[in-house]
Structure 1
Amino acid sequence: MTVDEKTREPLARRGRLSRDQAFWLVGGVLVLLLLSSSAPSPMYVLYQQRWHFSATLLTVVFGVYAVAVLAALLLFGSLSETLGRRRVLLVSLVGEVLSMALFIGARDVLWLLAARVVQGLAVGLATGAVSAALIELSPPGSPARGTLLNSAGPTGGIAAGALLAGLLVQFAPAPTVLTYALLLAAFVLCSAGVLAMPETAPHRAPGLRIRPSRISVPAGARRPFALLSLVLVAVWSVCGLYLSLGPSIALELLHSGNLLIGGLTVALFAGVATAGQMWCGGLPPLRAAGVGVLALLAGLALSFTALTANLPVPFFLGTAALGFGWGVAFLGSFRALAALADPAGRSALLASVYVVAYLSMSVPAVLAGGVSGGWGLRRTALTFIAAAALLCGAALLGLARTGRRDRRAARPAGP
């Protein structure tokens, strides 16, 4: 674009923020979106005590969020390509403001369900726009900055949200109001910032065009996709259990009513995941996935020991190992899966990845909540750990087979 063309470009499109300022604003929005998604986790125990609902319903409250995120991703994942990143982000932030208002006004579990659905739709709507904007706004000298923030921002946000909410719930007044009120104000401020940021996506078509994401796996990639999906199922099922029932398990193990412990459990899990992604980001994808699954197995063994022997220290060591495994295994498997398709088919394949991930996060968690009423929380967790360990074993076999397939494909043909 020439200097004259830049001069004629509308101010609304250029924005009043510089590209560097806009990059950090969008990164902040990403962290804030995921921060708000984990904020209710330390409060679930309090909600249960107040409204006397079962662990089954608790996991349903958690699960509907994942389903709503998935639905928004599939229906509106490409909407920012036609409406622009900025408009889609604004709509998402308005949705977050509405969800925070529903949390603040919640009078029973139905309000929680409504708030989580709206929140999930807002996060899913924003995901594609945020991911693309971070890459488009990355400085020319640091093109990987957007990719790194895309991978580490969500887990860092989940950790920060659980820790902040745990502190406020335990030590501040109005425990089920103050956290959401602060987040509501933050989303309003972010909306003002998004209004001032430059638009980075061309408007390919006027008006509103909703094109559901296509879900497909290329014929030649179906076998490795199936094998690598075992990793997704293993890591995201563990993630779903920790984000929904993790605080309750920690409080029961410690025989404590301190709600900060629940927030610390989730924060430790997600915080170590963030550190692991940054530390192992340079590993080859399959090797990273293998390291992550091995860490998951170690964490599951520690957690099983802690719950059977009633030992808090191994439980938190296991939580850290599970968080590391979740972050690194997902990063490696995601990169390996993204490489299975050419650019034209990559979005359809990645939509399939999100389907597997979010269903793995929500369905096992809801099943665990369903049986915990009859089995008890600890027996349910032990059964879940055993099943997850079997999944990890299958995932390691899948990674080994995928690695052998890649080595055969890379081997030069004979004369």
Structure 2
Amino acid sequence: MAEPTKTTTGDIVQPAGPQAGAPRGSGFWVVGAVLVLLMLSSSVPSALYVLYQQKWGLSSGTITVVFALYAVTVLAGLLLFGSLSDTLGRRPVLAASLVLAIVSMGLFAGAQGLGLLLAARAVQGLAVGLATGAMGAALLELTPRSKPALGAQVNSAGPTVGIGLGGLGAGLLVQYGPAPTVLSYALLVGAFALTLVGVVRMGESAPGLQGGRFRIVPRRIRIPPGAGGRFAVLVLTIVAVWSVGGFYLSLGPHLALSLLRSTNYLVGGATVALLAGAATGAQLLLGRTEALRTAVIGLLGLLAGLALVLLALGLGSAPVFLIATAVLGSGWGAAFLGSFRALSTLAEPEHRGELTAAVYVFAYLAMSVPSVLAGMLTNIHGLHRTSVGFMAVVAGVCALALIVTLRLSARTRAEGSTA
């Protein structure tokens, strides 16, 4: 969770296929590996935040600022360089993002304080933002012809799979491996280097390259005329979903350790993995369900999960908290999948990139701003009281989103029956 880099099916027109180079299928899996690894690496620091706090005396507010910097730089990279792969091609953009990812892992491994930690998170965010558009497009362009739906499925489930594996793997290495603040990043340097070789060797898939010139074309933010009402309804769900995601990825491990009264760092990573794993499961289960219905199911899951989190905090119960996290993750995955799919239909194909950029703006702001506020309030009121207040507010947003989404669904069905 994760951070919000989901399917970008609206950003491109399906091309005939890759240009000369590696076979279509092999390139697809190389790009899929890049997606999972980038998302995996983005959740590794979440499992280490508690350790950083203890080693360097950082406050919860500072930790959420580190997390928010990642979200902001992802958004900046996406908006500034999101169209670059249409000009230069998918391969060079993906290769550049992997080089940046390797640099960021080196900065993380060498960090001895807040300065390099911030620098590493910023470079990492830029790498993910640079790669997002190219990955989404390449996965669709390189989808094996025998499995035409596979590209959209990997686009949707890849991020949560990566976030889950990153949280769990980093937790294991931090707790049981040597050099806890170095080992995870060193292994990722090797993994990124291998995928870089695969990217260099794969075939180019971008259609109609514009001369191969380096051009920065900031992605436009525009909501299609007449779609403002539906956009506002659906983006409310996006805000609720990624407010939860930002909180769990920044303060979730600390909260889990507190409730479980544990000093085992695996607990923090496993909490992130449980949230992301449940989200992936829900997305795979509901992949063919109608978009608005999926969003409604997800919002109900979010409300149930938030209620269980509040119950767990009130009782101080670790088992209830773990159940709540699984329920919350299921709602998180379903709500995002449904709302994003519904949003993607609001614009014509040639304008879906602009609409997608607008969705990402709200998603990354929702991921970063509330988590920073929660971190600052934690310094004043403590983690427990802040978590209760945060979850209660998000539950209110979810309830409002559910009401307006149900109304939108009913109106959509009525319009369909009279058409």
What is the TM-score with the length of structure 1 in the denominator?
0.95
Amino acid at match of 1:178: L
Q: Which residue among 210, 216, 228 is the counterpart of 1:204?
A: 210
1:102-121 → structure 2 map (5 Å cutoff): 102-121=107-126
CA contact (8 A) 1:230 1:398 kept: no
CA distance in 2, matches of 1:48, 1:294: 35
1:317-356 → structure 2 map (5 Å cutoff): 317-356=323-362
The count of residues paired between Structure 1 and Structure 2 equals 401
Q: Which residue among 390, 393, 405 is the counterpart of 2:396?
A: 390
Amino acid at match of 1:252: S
CA distance in 1, matches of 2:75, 2:69: 10
Q: Which residue among 287, 293, 296 is the counterpart of 2:302?
A: 296
Q: Which residue among 242, 250, 254 is the counterpart of 2:256?
A: 250
CA contact (8 A) 2:101 2:127 kept: yes
How many angstroms does 1:188 deviate by? Answer: 0.8
Alignment RMSD, CA only? 1.1
Identical amino acids, percent of aligned pairs: 57
1:314 aligned counterpart, secondary structure? helix
Report the equivalent of 1:135. Answer: 140
Amino acid at match of 1:412: T
CA distance in 2, matches of 1:30, 1:234: 24
Amino acid at match of 2:389: T
1:209 aligned counterpart, secondary structure? coil
Deviation digits for residues 301-321 of structure 1, max 9, x if unmatched? 111111111111110000001
Q: Which residue among 308, 314, 317 is the counterpart of 1:308?
A: 314
CA contact (8 A) 1:104 1:176 kept: yes
CA distance in 2, matches of 1:407, 1:290: 14
Amino acid at match of 1:201: A
How many angstroms does 1:409 deviate by? Answer: 2.6
How many angstroms does 1:338 deviate by? Answer: 0.3
Report the equivalent of 2:84. Answer: 79
CA distance in 2, matches of 1:380, 1:192: 46
CA distance in 2, matches of 1:374, 1:114: 27
How many angstroms does 1:37 deviate by? Answer: 0.2
How many angstroms does 1:207 deviate by? Answer: 1.3
Report the equivalent of 2:37. Answer: 32
CA contact (8 A) 2:82 2:218 kept: yes
CA distance in 2, matches of 1:174, 1:206: 43
CA distance in 2, matches of 1:348, 1:285: 20
CA contact (8 A) 2:241 2:332 kept: yes
Moved over 6 A (4+): none
CA contact (8 A) 1:19 1:198 kept: yes
CA distance in 2, matches of 1:345, 1:97: 33
1:138-177 → structure 2 map (5 Å cutoff): 138-177=143-182
CA distance in 2, matches of 1:328, 1:180: 31
CA distance in 1, matches of 2:205, 2:410: 41
CA distance in 2, matches of 1:230, 1:398: 9
CA distance in 2, matches of 1:175, 1:395: 41
CA contact (8 A) 1:277 1:327 kept: yes
2:210 aligned counterpart, secondary structure? coil
List gaps (5 residues or longer) in structure 1. 1-11
Report the equivalent of 1:64. Answer: 69
CA distance in 2, matches of 1:405, 1:213: 32
Greater mean alpha carbon deviation, residues 345-354 or residues 169-178: 345-354
Report the equivalent of 1:222. Answer: 228
Matched, 1:368 2:378: no
How many angstroms does 1:166 deviate by? Answer: 0.2
Report the equivalent of 2:406. Answer: 400
Matched, 1:269 2:275: yes
CA contact (8 A) 2:143 2:151 kept: yes
List gaps (5 residues or longer) in structure 2. 1-17
CA contact (8 A) 1:288 1:332 kept: yes
Amino acid at match of 1:91: A
Amino acid at match of 1:213: R
Larger Rg: 1
Deviation digits for residues 319-359 of structure 1, max 9, x if unmatched? 00111111110000000000011112211111100111110
Matched, 1:18 2:23: yes
Q: Which residue among 43, 49, 59 is the counterpart of 1:44?
A: 49
How many angstroms does 1:204 deviate by? Answer: 1.9
CA distance in 2, matches of 1:335, 1:401: 17
1:174 aligned counterpart, secondary structure? coil
Deviation digits for residues 354-397 of structure 1, max 9, x if unmatched? 11111001110000001001100000000001001100111001
Greater mean alpha carbon deviation, residues 343-352 or residues 402-411: 402-411
Report the equivalent of 1:188. Answer: 193
2:227 aligned counterpart, secondary structure? helix
How many angstroms does 1:219 deviate by? Answer: 1.9
Deviation digits for residues 276-298 of structure 1, max 9, x if unmatched? 10001111000000000100011
How many angstroms does 1:13 deviate by? Answer: 5.8
CA distance in 2, matches of 1:400, 1:263: 35
